Amino acid sequence: MRTQVCIIGGGPSGLLLSQLLDRAGIDTVVLERRSRDYVLSRIRAGVLESGTVGMLEKAGIATRAHAEGLPHTGTYLAVQNTGFRIDFDALIGKQVLVYGQTEVTRDLYDAREKAGGIVIHDLDGVELHDLDTDAPHVTYVKDGTTHRIDCDYVAGCDGSHGPSRQAIPKDVLTEFERVYPFGWLGVMADLPPVSHELIYANHPRGFALASMRSPTRSRYYIQAPVDDPLDKWTDDAFWDEFRRRLPHDSAEALITGPTIEKSIAPLRSYVADPMKWGRLFLVGDAAHIVPPTGAKGLNLAVSDVHYLFEALTSHYRDGDDHGIETYSQTALKRVWNAIRFSWWFTTTMHRFPGQESFDQAIQDSELRNLQTSVNAQTVFSENYVGMPY
């Protein structure tokens, strides 16, 4: 098979890149190791930056997001069971949209299917070849047969465990990492959210987040040891601990009941540099990981897609390779800004092992400053809603 851009990974970033390139007249093939049903079963975040919504509009797949998504013009922060609101709309005239990543992926699958896009599922042994030449190719095994795709470029949208980043020589790649000494215990419940906007809570017992997927489905988290056994956290144990960490008025309004999903996720910050080697581009989790505090993961992948789409369209339309040559430097500037914001928000809101009264007092002071300073709230809003591309 021959295509212009071979995309490794059929998650939202790979499908979005394929959809955008297709609309620009550039051929793609998407390779996804798992089945479509498996990809759509993954529970992921759902807070979309304004720039991400703009990219969905550009891809022609934003209709359902606008119809079913929940626009949020602000968010709540809490410290020691007392909360305050930051008004994005009043401060910077922007908002975020709560719309699940699974739904974004579903919309993209539907669009690629309608356009006749090639997405190949259920395969093994993906290998990238001759990336440092003018004739790269990708091989994979499906149903016991090895297949080959010749292409101009390869986009690695295959996450942190995929083969794309592994294809960059070790003496070329520099990796930066910070592992956090706790995890997020998350539950999903078909219950009305405790608040119409997100609540991020700092508490001496640990962090908590009240989020949602819809007016009838809640997504809640508490900070917990990453190696805690899930059976320790019965529904009653989770609700008791979650209630303790919320602002008092929210705790009183909380509706509890059976959970439909429960898991513990580790937290880390990670960056790979460079994000381009030869004819290979890294996109999304293949190049960087952020802790979920502030919901930057999907949004940062979409900004990579933006830069790569612009670079490839300039190449094929105008013969201009400046965007391709500078893709890594350009993308990494925004990556590091999001890494910094997520690190700051994580360290400000969580309880760390060995944390003393001084450390909690500093966190309290940081949040009080955010509560009282319009300038601090403006900077927070700019980062939370998303810096411009």
Residue 292 is among the residues annotated as catalytic for this protein:
yes
Least Cα distance to 302 among 89, 3, 19, 35 occurs for 19
Q: Is the pLDDT of residue 43 over 90?
A: no
pLDDT score for 42: 80
Residue 333 is among the residues annotated as catalytic for this protein:
no
Least Cα distance to 4 among 301, 287, 313 occurs for 313
Least Cα distance to 197 among 188, 209, 208 occurs for 209
pLDDT score for 46: 86
Q: Which H or E element spans position 108?
A: helix 101-114
Cα separation, 101 vs 353, in Å, equals 32
pLDDT score for 44: 75
Cα separation, 108 vs 128, in Å, equals 25
DSSP letter string, 36-51: HHHHHH-----EE-HH
Q: Which residue has the tokens 């899930």?
A: 230
pLDDT score for 45: 72
Buried b / exposed e along 239-262 (16+ C-beta atoms within 10 A): bebbbbbbbeebeeebebeebeeb
pLDDT score for 386: 97
Q: Indicate the residue type of 139.
A: T
Residue 72 is among the residues annotated as catalytic for this protein:
yes
Q: What value does the mean pLDDT of the chain take? A: 96
Which of 296, 306, 315, 350 is the catalytic position? 296
- Split at pLDDT 50, 70, 90, the class of 56 is very high
Q: Which residue has the tokens 């550009």?
A: 58
Residue 384 is among the residues annotated as catalytic for this protein:
yes
At 164-188, the pLDDT tens digits run 999 999 999 999 999 999 999 999 9
Asked if residue 110 lies in contact with residue 15, where contact means CB atoms within 8 angstroms, the answer is no
At 94-152, the pLDDT tens digits run 999 999 999 999 999 999 999 999 999 999 999 999 999 999 999 999 999 999 999 99
Which of 72, 276, 288, 306 is the catalytic position? 72
Which of 99, 292, 307, 327 is the catalytic position? 292
Which of 99, 140, 153, 200 is the catalytic position? 200
Strand order of the β-sheet with 217-224 is 82-87, 74-79, 199-202, 208-214, 217-224, 174-189, 261-273, 288-289
CB-facing half-sphere around the CA of 282: CA atoms within 13 A: 30
Task: Average the pLDDT over each of 38-42, 242-246, 373-377, 384-388 and give the range with the smallest value.
Answer: 38-42
Residue 248 is among the residues annotated as catalytic for this protein:
no
